[in-house]
Amino acid sequence: MEALIAIAIGTLTAVGIYLMLRLRTFPVILGLTFLSYAVNIFIFVSGRLAVNAAPIIGVTEAYADPLPQALVLTAIVISFGMTAVIMIMAIGGYLEAGHDKVNMDDDTTGEDGPEART
Amino acid sequence: MSHWIIAPVVLPAMIAGLMVIAMRGDLLLQRVAGVVGVVALNAIAVGLLWSATVHGPQAYFLGDWPAPFGIVLMLDRLSALMVALLAVLALVVVLYAIGSGWDRKGAHLHPLLQFLLMGIGGAFLTGDAFNLFVFFEVLLIASYGLMIHAGGDRRTRAGIQYIAFNLVGSSLFLLALALIYAVTGTLNMADLAAKLPTLPEGDTALLRAAAVMLILVFAIKGALVPLQFWLPGTYANAPGVVAAMFAVMTKIGAYAVIRFGTLVFPPDLPATGPLLSDLILPAGLVTLALGAVGVLGATTLPRLAAFGGIASMGTAFIAISAFTPQTTTAALYYILHSTLATAAMFLVADLVTRRRAHARLTEIAPPIAQSGLIASLYLIAAVAMAGMPPLSGFIGKLLVLDAFRDQAPLIWSVVLVSSFLMILGFARAGSTLFWKPSALDAQPDEAAPEGLAFTATFGLVAGLALLTILAGPITDWLTATAQMLDAPTAYIQANRLGQGG
């Protein structure tokens, strides 16, 4: 099971990094999501893998570490919220700029436009 | 257990919530609440500074759960100092936002500022590594909103880059925390400090990987080369008043490196050894050089201020990298100075860009209104940032140079040459902005007097002057702080580990 999970984390990370380096916002956001999945599984297994073990002492013979489960819940909520924020920003940027390229063009163009001063 | 320790987190959170729920759309009420909030935060910060100085490190056990099982907030001299710095800057920024009318150009500037204060205050005060991550996210999500305040195509797109970059940083942070937890079974910083020296041999490689990932996260926050490239685009495109507030955000990276480098991964820890110093010193030197070249080559005044900020982080990280009491004293003094100086530069840049016909430094524009007053403010801010006498930047750089006498050939030459480049860059920009326009036959437009905005900017100048005049007592206090950081026994004992509260 360790090997399976390690391969899963590695694959998710690789996919995430590949997509993150793309030029358009949508693949970048997908990449960030994949990366956060990889991170979440990684946090979950930091308390060691255990089968048939409840995170409560005394219910089953062995018990699982409950803290990583609490940490991963926090991490899931936060990464979910952050993905929502960047999604809204990406839509806003697309509507205002008319394209969804991630990179900024030449640094001085537009800086005498109204948005530089307002 | 003093409940005031949690006040810098709870107070802004309550005010922000009240603003959003009860004062929606009522700018006057929001302004009053914002000013009352930051004034109260200043009073609390002074109280905490006094308490940390007199009583030493104190822990606040959230929900009264004993450490290391519950989350603790830790008040010591360093965190009290950073909260006080935050409070002073927040007061200036709120006054400037009101005086310049920035808060009228988009909704929710005041509540977002309060949420940012909550996140930063919490990050400075927490004694738990995972809680530090949570407060990082709180301050980041507020900063995303502030970054795109008043909107605009370029600002929104720069905001997307900023968010994407910080999401990667957050993922790295979580990976590092998971590794540390897997190795040690704890995330309480004092508990880590107590457990890491007895780490089994086989786990040191994992711990070193975690330490490097943590440093990368803090390097993103602190704009350390090679992770600095988000900063110029973000700060130059953010509203000027927000960029001034962000001057303290890079210092969170510096604070976290000092905290982890002295408490969790001190240089005498067998598992990591001088790993942190070896990584941070060269990065700091390159950061300083890159910032100075950026100041020389910047095309607009906000970008110039942003590169000045990068250069100051370079100097701060050089001083941090040695982790000895003397260098930490120099680093802390320089952090205090550079936060105020960078913020002053961003406010001056905002005063200029809102009046000038265009933002480019490569072309002359007609003279701006109130040119004399703004020019003198620019001169003061530039002198402070370049580290020339008589202001505190000079004392700060002197302390850094003095602390590195043994490595003088390398560090002195980088610091001094980059100071020279920055003087050149600031002087050239100043002459384009304030001298050459007088050759044009044009009259400046009438501008609103903005008394409050100027008062706020002069407040920062007064802060720099105070830092200079009181340099003696302040460095004495900072030396005591650095010595306590160097020997964190009292900090660890305040957590009452294993005593069940």
Domain boundaries defined on chain A: 2-51+60-104
Q: Note the residue count of chain B.
A: 501
In this complex, the residue of A67, A79, A112 whose CB is nearest that of residue B358 is A112
Residue B501: inside a domain, yes or no? no
- Judge residue B209's burial from the number of C-beta atoms within 10 Å of its C-beta, 0-12 exposed, 13-18 middle, 19 or more buried: middle
Q: How far is B353 from chain A (nearest CA, A)?
A: 6
Residue B131 is which amino acid?
Answer: N
Chain B partners of A92 at a C-beta cutoff of 8 Å?
Answer: 148, 151, 156
Chain B partners of A108 at a C-beta cutoff of 8 Å?
Answer: 299-300, 360, 362
- Say which residue, A57 or B343, is predicted with more confidence: B343
Kindly list the distances between the CA atom of residue B278 and the CA atoms of B212, B281, B283, B332, B418, in Å, as whole numbers in the listed order.
Answer: 11, 6, 9, 20, 21
- Residue B154 touches chain A, beta carbons under 8 Å: yes
Report CA B61 to chain centroid distance, whole Å: 26
- Residue A2 touches chain B, beta carbons under 8 Å: no
Q: Report the alpha-carbon distance of residue B393 to residue B369 in Å, rounded.
A: 29
pLDDT digits (tens, 9 = 90+) for B231-240: 998 999 999 9
Chain A partners of B158 at a C-beta cutoff of 8 Å?
Answer: 104
- How confident is residue B362, by pLDDT bands cut at 50, 70 and 90? confident
Percent of chain B with pLDDT over 90: 81
Residue B53: inside a domain, yes or no? yes
Q: How many domains does chain B divide into?
A: 1
pLDDT digits (tens, 9 = 90+) for B44-54: 999 999 999 99
- Residue A71 touches chain B, beta carbons under 8 Å: yes
Chain A partners of B233 at a C-beta cutoff of 8 Å?
Answer: 104
pLDDT digits (tens, 9 = 90+) for B463-494: 999 999 999 999 999 999 999 999 999 999 99
Q: What pLDDT score was predicted for residue B345? A: 96
Q: Report the alpha-carbon distance of residue A14 to residue B335 in Å, rounded.
A: 38
Q: What is the dihedral of CA B380, B383, B385, B386, to 10 degrees?
A: 170
pLDDT digits (tens, 9 = 90+) for B126-161: 999 999 999 999 999 999 999 999 888 888 888 999
Residue for token pair 């407040």: B459
B109-125 helix and B7-22 helix, angle to the nearest 10 degrees: 160
Asked if the Cβ–Cβ distance from A116 to B359 is below 8 Å, we say yes
Does B443 have pLDDT greater than 90?
Answer: no
Residue B500: inside a domain, yes or no? no
Whether the bond into B226 is cis, omega within 30 of 0: yes
Asked if the Cβ–Cβ distance from A86 to B174 is below 8 Å, we say no
Percent of chain A with pLDDT over 90: 55
Largest CA distance in chain B: 77
State which residues form the domain around B406: 3-494
Does B68 have pLDDT greater than 90?
Answer: no
Residue B411: inside a domain, yes or no? yes
Mean pLDDT of chain B: 93
Q: What pLDDT score was predicted for residue A109? A: 45
pLDDT digits (tens, 9 = 90+) for B385-399: 999 888 999 999 999
In this complex, the residue of A20, A67, A115 whose CB is nearest that of residue B155 is A115
Q: Report the alpha-carbon distance of residue B224 to residue B213 in Å, rounded.
A: 14
Q: Is B128 helix (H, G, I), strand (E, B) or coil?
A: strand
Does B25 have pLDDT greater than 90?
Answer: no
- How confident is residue A116, by pLDDT bands cut at 50, 70 and 90? very low
Q: Report the alpha-carbon distance of residue B38 to residue B28 in Å, rounded.
A: 16
Does B247 have pLDDT greater than 80?
Answer: yes
Kindly list the distances between the CA atom of residue A100 and the CA atoms of A26, A95, B60, B153, B154, in Å, as whole numbers in the listed order.
Answer: 8, 9, 47, 11, 12
Q: What pLDDT score was predicted for residue A54? A: 85
Mutate to test the interface with B, among A13, A74, A87, A89 (most CBs of B within 10 A): A89
Does B217 have pLDDT greater than 50?
Answer: yes
Does B382 have pLDDT greater than 80?
Answer: yes
Asked if the Cβ–Cβ distance from A86 to B105 is below 8 Å, we say no
- The answer to whether B82 touches B124, Cβ cutoff 8 Å, is yes
Q: What pLDDT score was predicted for residue A105? A: 63
- Residue A90 touches chain B, beta carbons under 8 Å: yes
Q: How far is B399 from chain A (nearest CA, A)?
A: 36
The phi, psi pair for B280, rounded to 5°, reads: -80, -35
Q: Report the alpha-carbon distance of residue B382 to residue B432 in Å, rounded.
A: 14
Task: Kindly report which listed range (A99-103, B106-110, B168-172) carries the lowest average pLDDT score.
Answer: A99-103
Asked if the Cβ–Cβ distance from B167 to A86 is below 8 Å, we say yes
- Contacts across the A-B interface (CB distance below 8 Å): 133
- How confident is residue B500, by pLDDT bands cut at 50, 70 and 90? low
The CATH architecture that domain A2-51+60-104 belongs to is: Orthogonal Bundle (1.10)
Paired with A57 in beta bridges are A60
Percent of chain B with pLDDT over 70: 99
Does A118 have pLDDT greater than 50?
Answer: no
In this complex, the residue of A90, A107, A115 whose CB is nearest that of residue B160 is A90
Does A100 have pLDDT greater than 90?
Answer: no
Whether the bond into B409 is cis, omega within 30 of 0: no
Asked if the Cβ–Cβ distance from A89 to B159 is below 8 Å, we say yes
Q: What pLDDT score was predicted for residue A42? A: 95
